[in-house]
Amino acid sequence: MATRRKKYRKRNTYYFRYRRRLILEMYRKYNQRYKDYFRYQLRKTLHLGTRNDFIRFHIPSYGRFPNLKVLNLKLHLTLPNCVFLNRLFRSCPLLEDLYMDSTCVDNFDQTFRFCIPNLESLSITGPSLSCFRVHDIPPTLIQANLSIGKSSYVHDFQVSKDEASRVMEALKGVRNAVDLTLPFGTTSALSYCFDDGDDFPTFPYLLDLQLGIDYYFGWKLLPYFLENSPLLRWISLYREESESKYTTAMAEGKHKEADDTYGWKPPKQVPECLMDKLKEIEERNLWRRKAEGEVKYLLENGKTLAKTKISFEEDGISDEIDEETIENFPRASE
């Protein structure tokens, strides 16, 4: 009987020792797995970048970042972990500023779906045409910057209109923005996918618009922004420096899409913002012979305009639109 008790006690000791060792190992793994979470939990600003951060960084199901207001994400992934991103966003109840720089290698069909109720500033940068869908569009959104895609995807016919339309999904997601910036690559994709019969989003609170002018589609989007932004008070239009082969072809009129009007089609009715709200227009680095129709229309119909700044590219031809020509345009504003 004593021998049996001794054997049982010995076996029981081994069991508890093994169990203790197992608990310690689990604690070490838990500590290693969630160490970044505990380290960042009370921060107000968080920067995450490189692929390794997203492999190591795990958020417990109960985890929260109660103080986090600024989140800077840099994604260089082949397959973005959307589950992780959504859990991260849900863990930040006070998040106000989100800066997302995403590069999805050879992967155009990824969709990022996220909902951030208190978001005030959103910046999305990425060459790939991934789809960004903002659910429950935050009414608090003040500033939005969408720099998605490359113009070469469109001009070299590397993508279809369906793929380019993913940028339109992101534009619809920021339609409550007060200040909106759309650089050169973004406007090329939007112009490529957008047809006149499509529904263009309305921007009920938009006051300031900075629009990159694409050297292929030109002024195609401007009339729609004017018609769908009733409170617009300031516009900055700028043509970015483009590849020489496209610039030369367009300037010489050899490109198949070249057009003297540069795609300008005046709105059927004078937009509300031109009659009541628009105070200032800034236009930079324009082509002289492709800006006359748009400049003339804005001056003729901008009843509340107080200031207009216009600059042309340095190598413009002198006998085309110039300062004297613009001075002679009729103006609706005093």
Higher pLDDT, 64 or 49: 64
Beta strands, E only, the chain: 45-49, 70-77, 97-104, 111-114, 121-126, 131-134, 143-148, 179-182, 208-213, 234-239, 280-286, 307-312
125, 147 contact by CB (below 8 A): yes
Residue type, 300: E
Residue type, 177: A
**pLDDT tens sequence across 204-247:** 999 999 999 887 888 999 999 999 999 999 999 998 765 444 55
DSSP helix/strand/coil, 307: strand
pLDDT at position 7 is 45
> What confidence tier does 309 reach under pLDDT thresholds 50, 70, 90?
very high
116, 138 contact by CB (below 8 A): yes
Q: What is the pTM of this model?
A: 0.81
Between 66-70, 296-300, 322-326, the lowest mean confidence (pLDDT) is in 322-326
pLDDT at residue 319 greater than cutoff 70 = no
pLDDT at position 110 is 66
- Sign, CA torsion 283/220/223/232: negative
Concatenate the DSSP letters of all residues of 127-174 into one string: SS--EEEESS--TT--EEEEEES-HHHHHTT-S-HHHHTHHHHHHHHT
**pLDDT tens sequence across 78-91:** 555 677 777 788 88
127, 150 contact by CB (below 8 A): yes
Average pLDDT (28-50) is: 56
